[in-house]
Amino acid sequence: MNKKVVGIAYIKEGKLLVCMSQRSSKQGKYTLIGGGVEPGETSEQAVIRETREETGFELKNGEFYKIFSFTESAASDPNLLIDMDVFVYNGEFSQKLQTSDEILKFRWYDISEDSSNLSSSITDHFLPWAIDNDLLYSDKK
């Protein structure tokens, strides 16, 4: 059985918030904010919990929407298949980000940058969707 996970995209000024967790650092990859769905939890509840745990931001229902789902190998463990629901935050993200035991670092990814250190969930699934929907853009010339 595949592991059910969620990810949420926070976009600010055309850039995507990505993070490197303890687990994804083993592969040297940045991922979306998110993680596993716990037993008895909906994907929406998991997005709210994971956002709070990873950023300290108190996300509320109605502030985000699901854009798609897919199945692939996990960034933290290529032998683990995940079923991922991807959401987008529809507000202005102004939270001051602080690292934690779980999250080593955050960064705002600009689409003009090299994407080789991003997880495949971002490069293969989210980036094409976000570019098609004019959510990500570069201000670099």
Q: Which CATH architecture has domain 3-132?
A: Alpha-Beta Complex (3.90)
Coil, strand or helix at 12: strand
The whole-model pTM stands at 0.92
Domain spans in the chain, listed from the N-terminal domain onward: 3-132
Evaluate whether 5 touches 37 at the Cβ level (below 8 Å).
yes
Q: Which two tokens stand for residue 7?
A: 């990810």
* pLDDT tens, position by position, 90-127: 988 888 888 888 899 999 999 999 999 999 999 999 99
Considering only CA atoms, give the Rg of the chain. 14
pLDDT value at 37 more than 90: yes
User: At which residue do the structure tokens 């745990």 appear?
Assistant: 53
Q: Which two tokens stand for residue 32?
A: 């979306």
The Cα–Cα gap between 44 and 57 comes to 15
Q: Which two tokens stand for residue 42?
A: 């909906």
